[in-house]
Amino acid sequence: MRALFEKLIEDEAELDWFLENVVTEEWHFEHDAGRPLADMLPERKALFPDYADLIDAYATRFLETVPGPVPGTADLIERLAERRIPLFAITNFGAEFWDMFRPTQPVLAHFGDIVVSGIEKLAKPDPAIFKLAAQRFDCVPQDMLLIDDNAANIAAASALDWHVHHFHHAEGLERDLASRGLI
């Protein structure tokens, strides 16, 4: 969120307060879990009327909150696709935001299916989203590798017998994929 709101709030202390109290990660997660913006925005603006324009910016300028691809990851996806490794994804993403974001990432065309939390109304680390994904991808957990930067998501998938990689940077992922014979 900071990437957008630091453009709109000059005072650092106010920016920190805003991100801790108004447009918070917890509030954003509600959209990731399937709550519609049409419900969320008016409710939040009623709580924080002085920040109504900034709350609207969350919805209209959401793409500016996404810092961009992690260096090296698109190359790894391309390499896996070239080897015809089946690629799937599970993402915590609000349904309305996914519709805006998906067209900006052509590399996602390599994925056979993408489970989007906001559409399914299930979000990681809820085990139900991993079970849904395994069913949709027509794979058993023992045959899949979850790559995620969130420790709670890694723990949830691991508990369901998925192979896991706790992502920190592309170089570490590349080494792990090589050790598994995938690239």
Range of the domain at 93: 73-180
DSSP 144: -
CA-CA distances (angstroms) from residue 101 to 59, 64, 71, 114?
12, 10, 18, 13
Last residue of a domain, one of 23, 42, 65: 65
Torsion of the alpha carbons at 36, 41, 43 and 47, rounded to the nearest 10: 150
**Are both 49 and 80 inside the same structural domain?**
no
Name, in order, each residue with C-beta under 8 angstroms of 138's C-beta and a sequence gap of 6 or more.
none
Q: 85 and 47, same structural domain?
A: no
Q: Are residues 53 and 79 in the same domain?
A: no
**Mean predicted confidence (pLDDT) in 15-37:** 97
- Taking 90 as the threshold, does the pLDDT of residue 69 lie above it? no
Tokens of 126: 């809820």
Length of the chain counted residue by residue: 183
pTM (predicted TM-score)? 0.91
pLDDT in tens, 83-108: 999 999 999 999 999 999 999 999 99
Do 92 and 125 sit in the same domain of this protein? yes
Say whether both 80 and 146 belong to one domain: yes
pLDDT at 68 over 90: no
Query: Mean pLDDT across the stretch 35-53?
Result: 97
pLDDT confidence of residue 67 = 83
Residue with structure tokens 């603006």? 45
